[in-house]
Structure 1
Amino acid sequence: MAQSSDIEWTDATWNPVTGCTKIGRGCDNCYAERFAERWRGIAGHPYEQGFDLTLWPSRLMQPEAWKKPRMIFVNSMSDLFHKEVERAFIDQVFDVMERVDWHVYQVLTKRSSLMRAYLHKRYGSSAVPSHIWLGVSVEDEQHKGRIDHLKQVNSDARFISFEPLLSPLHAIDLRGIAWAIVGGESGPRARPMQEAWVHQIRDACERDSVAFFFKQWGGARPKSGGRLLDGEEWNGFPWQIVPKSIIEQLSL
């Protein structure tokens, strides 16, 4: 687990799973794959296996070592709901998150229907614990259905990462969503994001009372285009869903 993170909307990362496979345009230039494959074959390196899907039982207890509350991005280098991650292992990850409840966990997936099915089976009609935030990635119009899957989860802590944003999203309904993060693609083959696409989401957030966070324009490097929209930073954060027991202790 990284004890700090360069990702603007979290404090730290926890990767009990690494590696993944591509399921949409948003995966084409995956930063995690690009990073992991640099180390393939280097004996003893955490990414000796490159970006092959790998479970790490030895990392399950890492959050317990951190006594100060943090926002923890779960599986920044994978997708917890990948179809080849066994349900029993997902259970173990959720067991840890439920028990080590002084952190906020941000679980982000592109496999929204599998997340929905898992949560329905685990929690039934009960709400997901409020310190476990549930998010989906939506990169274009084709994958907007992930938002509907997210809304079918019993939680007030729902968020969406529109990153990399690759197309306009028409008639977007964000009611029931707490937080939206928007960002352009970065890396050597970055595809440009248009300002009008960002305005569509920002305006929907304002209409539907959703916290709006603009992460970056993207480019060859994450910071190439800066992160100003209409001349200002947009750092919206859904403080209303942070459990009161830890809100004053978070470092964000």
Structure 2
Amino acid sequence: MPVWNPWHGCKKLSPGCQNCYVYRRDSSIGKDASEITKTGSYDLPLKKDRQGRFKLTPESGVVFTCMTSDFFLPEADGWREGCWDIIRQRSDLHFHIITKRIDRFAECIPDDWGDGWENVTISCTCEDQERADFRLPVFIGLPIKHRRIVSEPMLEEINIEKYLADGLIEQVTCGGESGENARLCSFDWVKELRRQCVRSGVPFYFKQTGALFRMNGKDYRIERRFQMAQAEKSGYSYTPNTGCADRIRYTLPTRADLFARLAKSTFRSRFRLSDEDRQYIADKGLDVIRAHAADFVAKKLAPENPPKDGRQTPMRGHPIFKAQHATACCCRGCLEKWHNIPSGKTLTDRECAYITDVLMDWVVKRL
């Protein structure tokens, strides 16, 4: 992964900057990371070897740009035009710029930017909901060919689904914070962000756990060398229509544990079979009701990304609809939260049979 740092140093801007790795690293060698300096690598993409060939080639991969600063930092205004010229000259390379200062983007682009350059990806960061709701509306409205969202360090659960709806975002990345004083990252936040991406058909990359990671109610201290590997091992990165989620390992809850948890939910516990429901079941017979349940599961829950997921199950109209809400089998998000079945995958026959059994258990117990 080639990295091009035309300048070094940055000014802390928002909560995500609190434990900045650049500040930590510079401090360890007696440098002040708040001092912005032009580097000797300013013209790196134009440098050539002894044979007169560019040192950076398309085969080198995406050029991550300004990774020890921010490309749109005000202190770098005098140097940025030269960088744009270099990027313009090296149209054969693809440059990836990650910024917290997306609000400065419009005033910092070159005159010939138009609706964006094909060889530039802009990633906007949002570490919490406040930053997401401030930066992403600006980001969505800008002329950019390739755009991504980065939530790293992820400091809380965020909802960005409305910013994914128009199909402009090519990928969402999230990860926890590294370093000795790292703040917590919860796997529940990661999974919720992933669900939003799955529903929107947007690729999702779970980059790293961070140093302090909460999973299943327990906090873990994870060494730096394992943070990316553990995220990769989870299998929670997602690319639509690739079957990638099939490798996620999980355990279905026992029926006793599931119904005990459901009983503690005010919402789930409010569903009841009416006299009309019971009569309908008696008239049709349990075999027919089971067939209806299996059909609803196959059509409304089994696809990798069901249409209108989260709103596909009516509250009434069939006894099984009530059973679905009562047992949290109403949408893929609830299946993941309550039954551990990951979203973003086509349900297996075993999973469909399990859900159907849960629904029928609930119905039979209430006859």
Query: If the TM-score is normalised by the length of the shorter chain, which range does it land in?
Result: 0.7 to 0.9
Report the residue type matching 2:141 in the other structure.
Q
After superposition, the Cα gap between the structure-2 partners of 1:150 and 1:171, relative to the gap in structure 1 and judged at 3 Å, is: closer
Match of 1:178 in 2: 170
- TM score, norm. by length of structure 1: 0.78
Q: Unpaired runs of 5+ in structure 2?
A: 48-54, 212-221, 241-367
2:214 is aligned with 1:201: no
- TM score, norm. by length of structure 2: 0.55
Whole-angstrom distance in 2 between the partners of 1:200 and 1:163:
15
The CA deviation at 1:75 is 0.8
Equivalent pairs counted in the alignment come to 216
Match of 2:101 in 1: 111
The CA deviation at 1:154 is 1.4
Report the residue type matching 2:62 in the other structure.
M
Match of 1:101 in 2: 91
The structure whose RCO (Cα within 8 Å, separation 6+) is larger is 1
Q: Does the Cα contact within 8 Å between 2:176 and 2:210 map onto a contact in 1?
A: yes
After superposition, the Cα gap between the structure-2 partners of 1:203 and 1:156, relative to the gap in structure 1 and judged at 3 Å, is: farther
Secondary structure of 2:173 counterpart: strand
1:84-142 deviations in Å (ceiling 9; x for gaps): 222x41111111111112211011110110013323x6346x22111111111110011
The CA deviation at 1:26 is 0.3
- Percent of aligned pairs sharing the same letter: 24
Match of 1:222 in 2: 224
Whole-angstrom distance in 1 between the partners of 2:92 and 2:152:
28
Q: Does the Cα contact within 8 Å between 2:159 and 2:193 map onto a contact in 1?
A: no
Q: Unpaired runs of 5+ in structure 1?
A: 1-10, 41-47, 238-252
The CA deviation at 1:51 is 4.4
After superposition, the Cα gap between the structure-2 partners of 1:102 and 1:171, relative to the gap in structure 1 and judged at 3 Å, is: closer
The structure with more radius of gyration: 2
After superposition, the Cα gap between the structure-2 partners of 1:51 and 1:171, relative to the gap in structure 1 and judged at 3 Å, is: closer
Q: Does the Cα contact within 8 Å between 2:7 and 2:42 map onto a contact in 1?
A: no
Match of 1:156 in 2: 145
Secondary structure of 2:197 counterpart: helix
The CA deviation at 1:160 is 1.3
Computed over aligned residues only, the root mean square deviation of the Cα atoms, in angstroms, reads: 2.2
1:117-172 deviations in Å (ceiling 9; x for gaps): 323x6346x22111111111110011012112211221230011110000111353
Higher helix share: 2
Report the residue type matching 2:67 in the other structure.
S
Secondary structure of 1:160 counterpart: strand
2:124 is aligned with 1:136: yes
1:53-85 deviations in Å (ceiling 9; x for gaps): 1123x4232112324212111111001111222
Match of 2:364 in 1: none
